[in-house]
Amino acid sequence: MRRKKVKLAGFYFASALALAAIPGAAGAVTLRKASCEGVSYSYLLEAPPGNRPKPAVLLLHGAGGHAHDLLIPWRSFAETHDLVLIAPELTNKRAFEAIAPAVFRCVVEDARKVASVDPKRIFILGNSMGGYLAYDAAMFESQYFAAVAVHAAAIDPDFEGILSKAARKIPIAIFIGNEDPLVPIGGVRWTRDRLREAGFPVEYEEIAGHDHHYEQVADRLNREAWKFFEAHPLP
């Protein structure tokens, strides 16, 4: 129990430091908890003022990271495009994968209690481990999330069967650096091909000279992911 408390305290402290470093963040980004699947999950929420329904992007960080890892590079873009950002703190425990799609939907629904979100424009952007989980959410919650963008992640061939779980051929954008030392590009190309063969609309980009780190190409990825999202609201 003490170990869990220390870990959670570390998340709060890291998040506080991160938010303190963002100009104008005070009062704009809040730390919330949602009870999902019998467990309390922490997440960061940034919601622009006003009652007009806005697009929302669920940001899924990589293994060993924290919720603010993607929120920070997305924040300026979100401010200029009037977006709601939802960034949950993820665990890398294998058992989480089975419930991740339901948890992600639950977290978004909790955010909708306090933020005005357009239900036809709820998107996911996943990085590395978060990208792996984004594929799961795309398949099991294809009628809830409008579109998904994945950076530096592939579908495990042993779990190719998840493609048959999608009730809708959800649009997916895939980005991978051709110098990624952690994610073999062959596996990402295999993922692209299997998705297309299964009838999913897929946009795919290999980024020359790029490795595994999202923040190094964040401005470019944010723009391209958002362009993709804008074109693919729920029908």
**Domain CATH code at residue 220:** 3.40.50.1820
- CA dist 37 and 19 (Å) reads 28
Question: What are the structure tokens assigned to 17, written together?
Answer: 């430091």
72-115, pLDDT tens digit by residue?
Answer: 999 999 999 999 999 999 999 999 999 999 999 999 999 999 99
161-198, pLDDT tens digit by residue?
Answer: 999 999 999 999 999 999 999 999 999 999 999 999 99
pLDDT given at position 5 = 44
Count of other CB atoms within 10 angstroms of residue 186: 9
Please, are residues 90 and 61 in contact by the beta-carbon 8 Å criterion?
yes
pLDDT given at position 27 = 38
With respect to residue 12, please indicate whether it lies within any of the assigned structural domains: yes
In whole numbers, what is the pLDDT of the chain averaged over residues? 91
- CA dist 188 and 205 (Å) reads 10
With respect to residue 221, please indicate whether it lies within any of the assigned structural domains: yes
With respect to residue 235, please indicate whether it lies within any of the assigned structural domains: no
Question: Residue 24 sits in which domain range?
Answer: 2-230
With respect to residue 92, please indicate whether it lies within any of the assigned structural domains: yes
Q: How confident is the model at residue 28 (pLDDT cuts 50, 70, 90)?
A: confident
- CA dist 118 and 144 (Å) reads 11
With respect to residue 78, please indicate whether it lies within any of the assigned structural domains: yes
7-19, pLDDT tens digit by residue?
Answer: 444 555 455 445 5
With respect to residue 80, please indicate whether it lies within any of the assigned structural domains: yes
pLDDT given at position 15 = 53
Number of domains in the chain: 1
Count of other CB atoms within 10 angstroms of residue 106: 18
